[in-house]
Structure 1
Amino acid sequence: MVRQPAHRLTTTKEAKATPTTPNKKRKIGFGIAAGSTAVALAAFGLPALAAQAAPVTYSNDKQIVSDTLDRVQQNGWGSAPVGGAYTVSSPTAFSANGATGVAAVPRPGASLTASLPSATATDADISTVVSIPTLPTTGNGVYAGVQLRSAKGSYYQATARIDAKARLLLSVSRINGSTADQTTIAAEKVVAQNVTAGQKIAIDFRVTGTDTVSTTARAWLASQTAPDWQVSGTDATAKKLTAAGSVGLWSYVSGSSAATAVSFDNVSAYSLKAVQGGQPTQPDPTQTATPTPTPTETTAPTEPTKPTPPPSRPSRPSPLSRRPVTPRSTRARHAPAPVRPPWAAPRTPSRRARTSWPPLAPTPCREAPRPPRGRACSTPSTPPRAVRPSFSARARTTRPSPFRVASS
């Protein structure tokens, strides 16, 4: 059996373990493309979606109607200074008395309409001031309304109603073709009470949007401050009105109430433009004079005084530094020799003096060779000890006594 080299076996295993197929390459390429798409969506798509989701507000763009109705006119209202000529439903019922435009409802259950066909807009705001010379005492009362997106008998309308209890009520509705096809967008709401005859009532109505139509309205006594929007509603049904239409004014007397006239004044309408949420409107720049600053004398600053540090406690000297230490060499060199008085006792001889005695005489046995075994030395091994002189005798002979008087 022939054995193959190890490097060939390793190469074969690696080739079998990691085969490269085109399917994996396709999967990797697809993953890279998906990642690039996600990054592109995060960079470009999400800001756009966030911008669409941001709240949208509206501001006045262009005034399409402006009429104070301060002219004298019979059989109609004539033409508005801004907005063109009026189209009325019954010319004999409309007139202008020099202060207001009057719509005299001829009988109970009848209605009157005055529109401005040339003043059209999709997103618009209309406002007016109405008054009723005689308040109803029975029935559902007297109605006065403003219309937007009016075209071919269809429109959105905000209606203010004064009932027999002298209350002011407000609602929003949509009419498709005729009042028989009427839909309530915002339910009726009481916004004021104790209304008196001839009292002026302001009405403001706004319609915006196409995908979802938003409607808001408010009504208040003209002598008071305008409140916020009081009623609102949205319309996203199939019958919603999305096309541009004209503006109009409407009046009606309930069938169970007495006929009366309704006066209109200060009719105004604006087309609206959308303002994206978070994007403030830019005010008109105005040049303001920059005041010249008056020079003031400045005094030189005084240098602040440095605080005096508190006195520090003296440090205690170390016990080692209380006495000067003299080196041993200096002390031995400069120390004076002690002076012995004459009456002092004699000194004790030093160790050197005691060990300086003459050595003992050698013995014959120590000097002679060692005798044979079994035989003793003939000479005595220990000679007699030498007699040492007495200590006092040595002291007297070596050093004279200090008490001895020398002979002359």
Structure 2
Amino acid sequence: MAIATALTAALAVPVGVGVAGAVAAPAPLVSDSFTRTIGSGFGSAGTGGAYTATNPSATSVASGTGVFTLKPGVGAATVLRSVSATDVTASAKFTVPTLPTKGSGVYAALQARINGSSHYEAVVRFTSSKAMTLLVRRADGSASTMIVPEQRIATGITAGKAYTLEFSVTGSSPVALKARVIPAGSTAGAWQANGTDASAKRLTSGSLAVWGYLSKASTAATLKVDDLVATAGAAATTPTTPTTPTTTPSTTPTKPTAPTATPAPAPTTQPTAPATPTNPDTSAPPQTASNGVSTSGARHSVGSAAIGSTRYAVPSGAVFAAAGAAAGGNGTQAKPYATAQAAISAAPSGATVVLRGGTYHETVTVPFNKKLIIQSYPGEAVWFDGSQNWGNWSASGSTWVSGGYTYAFNNSPSYSGNLSDASRYIDPNYPMAATPDQVFIDGVSQRQVASRSAVTAGTFYADKSAKQLVLGSNPNGHSVRVSTLQEALRIQGAGTTVRGIGFERYATSAMQMGTITAQVPGITLENLAIVDNATIGLFAWSTDATLRNLTIARNGMLGFGGNSAYGLKASGLLVADNNSEHFKREPISGGFKITRSRGISITDSAFLRNATTGLWLDESVYDAAVTGNDFVSNGGDGVEAEISAHVTIADNVARDNAGNGIRLFDTSDSAVWNNTSVRNGRNIALMQDARRETDLSVPGHDPKRPQPDPTFSWIVQNVTVSNNVLADATGLAQLTVEDQGHKLSGADMHLTINGNLYQRTVANKPSIDIVWMQTTTATKGYATAAAFAAATGQDTRSTSVTGTGTLTSGLTLTSSALSQVTSIARSLPASVASLVGQPAGTLHLGSW
């Protein structure tokens, strides 16, 4: 990932770019240069009427600017209620005199079409790492909908410098929203955020406001606003960036670069005057981001609470550690140990270890036969960071070089540590994937290359023979961190709980299995952020693990791996942007993979934008429930069960995945109920190949690995597919039933496919609803469910619809589709109803 350029270069365009034949600008709806003195509130604008302040004590006007005096975790809005506009372009200059040194930073926004508790807003964030981000969203009471996800637009911003935020809201069906930031002294450039809102909740008109907010973990700060202008109509034409669809998440989610900072989200909404604003609930996972990772595409809150926001009770007798504390501590709160390992080693089994806020550059082990609770101190941010600051850079031609790099990490891509496995794991286009060296500039990962001559901006080379690092981007004036540790936490004490902590930037080799390894039974992990590690973020290989509200993101190979993890319970996870090093899909990569395990539950989680598969159950996963999850924009399948059995996949949304939305591969005795699968390559796929449990000579078997559980048939059979909504597949068909080994027909598989709704907006996209294995050697495509039913006896209650009107933009059923539910849907069986929290016998189509 290339480092962001300097702000002016990133945001400005050459002088002279403009519009030929420009006409005089319309009279402004609002014009305010703040040439007055007001002790509380903003008073009245020169044009636009009086402001109504939601937090009068936090706002004033002095020395020619409006002033927000912000306390941590508190926001304020000033609303121009006398102004009502439909199409409007607003702009204001924002200045932060002193940038925050910790926390997520200072937020400034322009709000438009304010109608009750709903409005649109463009939000710019000034971060503690001197970066700037921008997003556009719609607020609806206590929730928000991301129109354009938060994206980093610049680094190296300057305290005290004015930046003009411009926000355009036009149209009604859909509403077009655009935003950009223009540094003082620069010409307006392309729109950096560009999206639309076509939902039923879109707003048609309303008033205007200016809003400021300070993250809870930051110290008090000031935000100044000047030259507020709003005009009716669209903004003047300027060069534009490609439109960002409302469903496309940011590909470069931001996160705090300083590990001592407390990542905290912007609040999802701010009520407008005269209501008293509700401060964001930072004890719960945020709606718009989880520790800097975009949650766009998730139906509900997922991921860890912001690191530094949890407040777990501290029991009497707790053992304390504080990073960098004085030597000679005894583990009391007054005299804490200086390292986490010292506290863990000293704590008796059954004790609670409390870590004070700070950065722990350590590899720690919870020893065998010691059951501990390890948690952050209430309201303090604790990060384990495998990297350290790196300096002494000197220019060398077009690169920068620093010596003293003596690290030689194992670069095998496999668990065995065998370099000869590389061809199975490594995509030739990404030859450095398994080499775990990592460099970050201002928190942005630099891409590793294989030679000095290949170094360009945004890349680095680790010259092991010369013991040097070579950068392609100028490090001067920037924070450079280099990963020097490989493992963060080995949990070998059964029953241990770890909560409220972040783990980042470890140079983990694949053979080490994970930055965090849960090696013994009964481990609970809660509210952890596991991000930016070289290969595998977290691995569990024992029974009865509980994973609750974890953010597992941007790990190089795999977010989570599990094997023999019987009884695993996972909920509220955000598994996003993993396999960032682009390993091959097989044999292992992506978001979340579990093998050879039974009694698995994976619920209410989001698997987003992983480079390959989102969730993969493989090689003898038995009795698994996958319910209430979102599988969105993954580079492979959304969810796959392979060589497994007794898997229930219900009440999930799978959309915009490059592969299959839902795939069962050599998997038997399973149920696929009430899912909404939209715009995937194939929305649901039931696939068989030549492999059989009884014949290990068939291609596809790994002769180096032991035979999986012999109780599995390895055959797609006895599978039910009902009450699903399948729409607009981007590949050949909405649903496919295939045997690539040419041994079974569809009838041989004993499938029940019925009660589904097939929808395509355009008649030939796709032209086929169902592909069926007609004989053992030939498939046949059916354009509609009716044709399929007539030929096979399957899908007799199902319906095919061409055109719009089935699903809303939020993927819920329209009123016309709801009227068909009773004639299409099958009664929800008790076995599935108990998993999705619905009454047995319910008639419903798609996810809830």
Normalised by the length of structure 1, the TM-score is: 0.51
- Residue type of the alignment partner of 1:187: P
Shift of 1:153: 1.7
Q: Deviations over 1:267-326 (max 9, x none)?
A: 000011699xxxxxxxxxxxxxxxxxxxxxxxxxxxxxxxxxxxxxxxxxxxxxxxxxxx
* Corresponding residue of 2:165: 203
Report what 1:401 is aligned to. none
Query: For residues 225 and 63 of structure 1, what CA distance do their matches in structure 2 show?
Result: 21
User: Which of 177, 182, 202 matches 1:215?
Assistant: 177
Tell me the distance in 2 between the aligned counterparts of 1:212 and 1:67: 30
Secondary structure of 2:233's aligned partner: strand
Q: Which residue of 2 aligns with 1:122?
A: 86
AA aligned opposite 2:124: A
2:38 aligned with 1:77, yes or no?
A: no
Could you say what the CA RMSD is over the residues aligned between the two structures, in angstroms? 2.1
Q: Distance in 1 between matches of 2:137 and 2:167?
A: 12
Q: 1:165 to 1:63 in 2, by over 3 A?
A: same
SS in 2 for 1:251: strand
- The aligned amino acid for 1:268 is V
How does 1:248-287 map onto structure 2 within 5 Å? 248-272=209-233
Q: Which residue of 1 aligns with 2:138?
A: 174
Q: 1:72 aligns to what SS in structure 2?
A: coil
* Structure of higher CA gyration radius: 1
Aligned to 2:117, which of 128, 131, 153? Answer: 153
Secondary structure of the structure 2 residue equivalent to 1:203: strand
* Change in 2 beyond 3 A, CA 1:155/1:60: farther
Partner of 1:36: none
Kindly provide the amino acid, as one letter, of the partner of residue 262 in structure 1: L
Per the TM alignment, residue 220 of structure 1 is displaced from its structure 2 partner at its CA by 2.5
1:234 aligns with 2:199: no
Which residue identity is paired with 2:65? T
Pairing 1:6-45 to 2, within 5 Å after superposition: none
**Does 2:224 correspond to 1:224?**
no
Partner of residue 256, structure 2: none
Q: Deviations over 1:16-68 (max 9, x none)?
A: xxxxxxxxxxxxxxxxxxxxxxxxxxxxxxxxxxxxxxxxxx99544100000
Q: Find the aligned partners of 2:148 and 2:67 in 1 and give their Cα distance.
A: 28
Paired residue for 2:127? 163
Q: What do residues 199-253 of structure 1 show as CA deviations (whole Å, max 9, x unaligned)?
A: 11110000011110110000121222221211111011111112x2111000011
Give runs of aligned pairs for residues 353-372 of structure 1, distance below 5 A: none
Contact 2:89 2:234 in 1 (8 A): no
AA of the residue aligned to 2:92: T
Kept in 2: contact 1:62–1:272 (CA 8 A): no
Contact 2:112 2:169 in 1 (8 A): yes
Residue by residue over 1:138-171, the C-alpha shift from the partner in whole angstroms, topping out at 9 and shown as x without a partner, is: 1211100001101212100000001121011111
Q: What is the distance in 2 between the residues matched to 1:78 and 1:194?
A: 34
In structure 2, the partner of 1:92 is 57
Contact 2:90 2:168 in 1 (8 A): yes
Alignment of 1:343-362 (within 5 A): none
Task: String of CA shifts for 1:358-384, please: whole Å, max 9, x gaps.
Answer: xxxxxxxxxxxxxxxxxxxxxxxxxxx
Cα distance in 1 for partners of 2:161, 2:32 equals: 20
**Structure 1 segments (4+ residues) deviating >6 Å:** none
Task: Specify the code of the residue in structure 1 equivalent to 2:155.
Answer: Q
Higher relative contact order (CA 8 A, sep 6+): 1
For 2:33 and 2:131, the matched residues in 1 are separated by: 26
- 1:140 equivalent to 2:104? Answer yes
Distance in 1, matches of 2:234 and 2:65, equals: 30
Q: Write the distance in 1 (CA, Å) between the matches of 2:132 and 2:111.
A: 19
The whole-number CA distance in structure 2 between the counterparts of 1:94 and 1:171 is: 24
More displaced 10-residue stretch of structure 1: 115-124 or 133-142: 133-142
How far apart, CA to CA, are the structure 2 residues paired with 1:109 and 1:124? 30
Q: Tell me how far apart the structure 1 counterparts of residues 58 and 126 of structure 2 sit (CA, whole Å).
A: 21
State the match for 1:20 in structure 2.
none
Contact 2:170 2:234 in 1 (8 A): no
Tell me how many residue pairs correspond in the alignment: 215
**Cα distance in 1 between the residues matched to 2:232 and 2:206:** 11
In the other structure, the counterpart of 1:404 is none
- 1:141 and 1:163 in contact (8 A); partners too: yes
Cα distance in structure 2, aligned partners of 1:89 and 1:234: 28
- Would the aligned equivalents of 1:211 and 1:236 in 2 still touch at CA under 8 Å? yes
Correspondence list, 1:255-334, <5 A = 255-272=216-233
Matched to 2:170, the amino acid is T
Q: Judging changes above 3 Å, is the alpha-carbon distance between structure 1 residues 82 and 274 closer, same or farther for their aligned structure 2 residues?
A: closer
1:193 aligns to what? 155
Does residue 247 (structure 1) correspond to residue 211 (structure 2)? The answer is no
Counterpart-to-counterpart distance in 2, 1:167 and 1:82? 33
Deviation at 1:186, TM superposition (A): 0.6
- Corresponding residue number in structure 2 for 1:291: none
Percent identity, aligned pairs only, is 39
**Measured at CA, do residues 223 and 273 of structure 1 come closer, stay the same or move farther in structure 2, by a change above 3 Å?**
closer
Please state which structure has a larger fraction of its residues in strand: 2
Do the aligned partners of residues 210 and 98 (structure 1) sit closer, same or farther apart at CA in structure 2, a change above 3 Å counting?
Answer: same
- What amino acid is aligned across from residue 237 of structure 1 in structure 2? S
Amino acid at match of 2:134: L
Give the SS at the match of 1:210. Answer: coil
What is the deviation of 1:76? 1.5
